[in-house]
Amino acid sequence: MESFTTLICTEPAPHVLQITLNRPEAANALNTKMGEELGSVFQRYAVDPGDVRCVILTGSGDKAFCAGGDLKERDGMTNDAWLAQHAIFERFYFAMTDFALPIICAVNGHAFGGGLEMVLAADFAYGVANAKFALTETKLGIMPGGGGTQNLPRAVGPRRAKEIIFSARPFSAGEAADWGILNRICEPKDLLPECLSTAKTIAANGPLSIRQAKKAIQHGLQTDLTRGLWLEIEAYNRLVFTEDRIEGVKAFNEKRTPLFKGK
């Protein structure tokens, strides 16, 4: 497993990759190096996922998932340097959004600014009860630039998203769950085990099935219902010719667990 300066990458179970943001002394704030390393990881597994079928993204420590952009690093930055850094951030957020494998966020603490945008870019998230959430950019004279203005309205609806972004006020894990940002609230000790349990369940299903289903959902949401339904059938039909489809039906009839190979 490749080593990084700002991340820890492990495989806590077969077919599951865990990426841990590892700057606890800075509330796991997103600096240039972390942006580069996140981009590198997601690009690598997009090109060649190997045996990985599901990703868990979490943070080090018990206080913060990610506090957003590292404002100490940004203090005094020139306009050109700021834009160059943000281009690095844009690439990894786009890479997360386009990632073919499922991404589960284990929100171990506060998620502000770009940290919340990571949560929103994932497929779904579990979080701890004491976590706070906010898109704080308008307090800094900027605006969300990691997908927040697009992913948040799709999660919570446009009117609530406008309130969250315009006010920059924090909200609770309970509100995040009620509004559709979190799928589940966990005790701190149970957060990673519950995420891992779900990741293992996903990884045990047909990997091509999961990828095609994710593609149909992601792209279908960007179009009208009729085109979305046709996109679904196109994604479905590609699975008919796979070895995994044959194995799944055979295993069902033989009353055994299927052995999927992603072929």
> Which positions are annotated as active-site residues?
117, 137
Cβ atoms of 244 and 208 within 8 Å: the answer is yes
Nearest to 55 by CA among 68, 38, 67: 38
Altogether, the residues listed in the chain come to a count of 263
CA–CA dist 104, 196 (Å, integer): 9
∠ CA(177), CA(117), CA(140), 5° rounding? Answer: 115
CA–CA dist 117, 123 (Å, integer): 12
Contacts 24+ apart (CB under 8 A), 152-159: 152/120, 154/221, 155/120, 155/179, 155/180, 155/181, 156/180, 156/181
Give bridge partners of residue 54 from the DSSP assignment.
16
CA–CA dist 15, 177 (Å, integer): 28
- Cβ contacts of 96 within 8 Å, gap of 6 or more: 38, 42, 103, 118, 121, 122
CA–CA dist 110, 92 (Å, integer): 21
